[in-house]
Each structure stands twice: as C-alpha cells, then as structure tokens.
Amino acid sequence: MSTEVRQFTVQHDDDGVRLDRWFKRHLPQIGFAMISRWARTGQIRVDGKRADPADRLSAGQVVRVPPGGDAPAKGGAKPRRELSEEEIARAEAMVITQDRAAIVLNKPPGLATQGGSGMKEHVDGLLDAFAHDGPRPRLVHRLDKDTSGVLLIARTPGSAAYFSKRFSGRTARKIYWAIITGVPDIADGLIELPLAKQPGTGGEKMMVDKSGEGQSARTRYRVLDRAGNRAAWVELQPLTGRTHQLRVHMAAIGHPIVGDGKYGGPEAFLSGSISRKMHLHARRLIIDHPDGDVIDVRAELPEHFANTMASLGFDEDDGDALPEPYKPGKADEKQAAKAHAKQVRKERRGERRGRADGRVATRKPVTKALAKRGPTKGKGSARPAAKGPGPKPTKPTGKR
C-alpha cells in the first residue's frame, strides 16, 4: 500500500475523461467508494483544487492522489503469467515499432490474436512481455489466426480507449494484400454485400445474407497485378469491420483468397508449388496517434506469401502506392435518396395507422440533405469504386 502522496500528470489520451474513469484506467485497485470519500474530504486535488469524481480532466493537469486506498482486492490480485525466455523472444521479434502509447506488431500466420477453446498460444498471452513495471498492454483490434500483418497493441488504458474509438469510428485506414484465384472483370471495384452468421456454425462462419437483414458490409478492392487469368494480386480496404468480411466478399464474387478453403472450397487453391496457406496480409495501417501525430506502418510479407509473389512474377515494390480514399459518387447518393424516400413512405403509413387508431403522430420533415447519406444495407454486388461525381457505373458481367 502506498504511504506517500502521488502526483500524476494527465496525458493527451486521457483528455476529456472523467476523474473516476481516470482512476479506473490507471489505479484500478482503488475502489469508487474510496474515490468518493477522498473527494468529499478534499483529499483528491486537480491542479490544487478540490475535485468531484464526475469532473472531466484536461491534458496537462496534475492529479493529487492521497496515500493508501490501494490494498489488493479480496482474494489477492491476479498474478501475471511468467513467460519463458523463448516466449519473450517470440513477442519481441514481432515488434515493428513502439512508443509510450502503442506497440505495433507483425503477426505471423498461424498465431491466434486471442485465446479460445483449446487455444494455448496467442498474441494476447504474450503481451506480458511488454508490461515491465507498467500496465499490461491490451488488444484494440484483431486479425484472423491465418491472416498475417499489422496488429496494433495499446500500451496504456488511456491509449486503448483512444485507439478503440478510431477503429470503431472507421477513421483508421487498414490496407490488406491478398492473392486471389482468377481475375475480376473490374480492376477497381466496390463490393457491397450484407453479411450474417451462418446458422449452425456457432458464429464461426459468415455468409452473404440475401434476406436484406444482415449487417451492411463494404469492401473496396484494387487489382495490383495479374498472372494471366490464373491469379491476381489485389489490395483490399474494408470500409466496414465485419467478421471474415474480406474473405467472404472475395469468395462471393467468384475470386476466393488463395488458401481460404473455408469460404472458397477447392477453388481457393492453386496447383504447382503455390503454398496452401492463407494469402491474406494486413500490409499497412494508418491511424491517428494520441500525441497528435500519425502512425503509418507497413508489415513485411510472411515467407509463403513472398514466395508466391515471386512464383507468379509479382513485384512487391509495385504495391505500396496509396490509393485515393473512397468517396461516394452519384450512384451512392441516388441509392441513399431512394432509401430515404422509402423510409419516409413507411413513416407516413405509420401516421395514417396512428390516426385511424386515434393516436397522435408527428411528421418528420423531409430534406434533400439526407440524400448525401452513404449506401444503406441490402443486396449488393461488386461495382466500380466511385471517385466523386461521374457517369453512372456499370455492373460487372463476370462471375460473382
């Protein structure tokens, strides 16, 4: 138990957080009852002034925490797992870059991100290698077990909250490389197909939902090179974050990712010396940093992927030109306008039914501004990626 007054400077990734939440992030062993008692008696100070647990903090402020209050919870704190030298070396070998807020790893294929039933080896189990004397780093997003590449780990609770918001808000830009079977008719396309869990699979397998009730899912793809009609090297950008989204979408348009037998079946494998492992790699991540900078990192290809690239005659240097961000075009705006008009008609039908039943109903104003909304969920397909106003895109004629 601490016997001295402690002073903490609020960091950028804690800017705007409530005082009680700050305690939960950085001093979780101190209970809310103790925090409230200290606040009532004036023992907690922020920049020398009394503070309430609901007060919001600003970066640069100094929080005064009195002695005590941090006795272990009943039953004792859960001890950290002691890692072997081999496990520590394995964790450190994955590091691309790290700082006070983040650790960026290049996850190898075959290593799960998180534990599960019968899963003993995973990235989460190796994070104690980076804990040292501070808080235990934590996951803020995931990659499939057989997918390799960039995996960002938050070093502190505050940075975990910050990065989680960037991922959930879709401001983080994730770029994947994949080798697919065949070549899409459209070289730069957008796939819009809603996804749902496949019944009877325990939630482990997804499918395209043709009922229109699935979750909206959108993927942009761009062909970087091709090996005749046998295979293509593509860049994939998930514009939504559904489970197995890239794998399901590419299989749905008739071009499964090489090695993905789960969704592509026998057609997902190439003959000859091409590896049967999954050829999906999180190549690049661009995300804001809590300090105001930008993290922009690339992950080197795993051996089997690099060998396939060489075997098919693809040059890795041709793939890192950053594409323009996707911008909704006229087709998207037209689709959004139709969806809005349909919603307005449904609401008006509800009003009429309400009047017939003697209920009071209010009508929402109709505005043209809503036509600027993005596409709504429903049936979708691969089509050219819009880059702003232009002619109406045409649908592909090839296999989907």
Return the active site residues: 144
- Label residue 158 exposed, middle or buried (CB < 10 Å: 0-12, 13-18, 19+): buried
Cβ atoms of 101 and 289 closer than 8 Å: yes
Q: Which helix (H) or strand (E) holds 295?
A: strand 294-298
Pairing mode, if any, of strands 382-384 and 280-288? Answer: unpaired
User: 350-386 burial by CB neighbour count: b if 16+ within 10 A, else e?
Assistant: eeeeeeeeeeeeeeeeeeeeebeeebbbbebebbbbb
CA 351 to chain centre: 40
Q: Say which residue the tokens 């594409």 belong to.
A: 323
Alpha carbons 281 and 148: distance in angstroms, whole number = 5
The CA–CA distances, whole Å, from 267 to 138, 227, 251, 260, 309 equal: 37, 16, 9, 9, 19
Alpha carbons 123 and 109: distance in angstroms, whole number = 11
Alpha carbons 246 and 222: distance in angstroms, whole number = 13
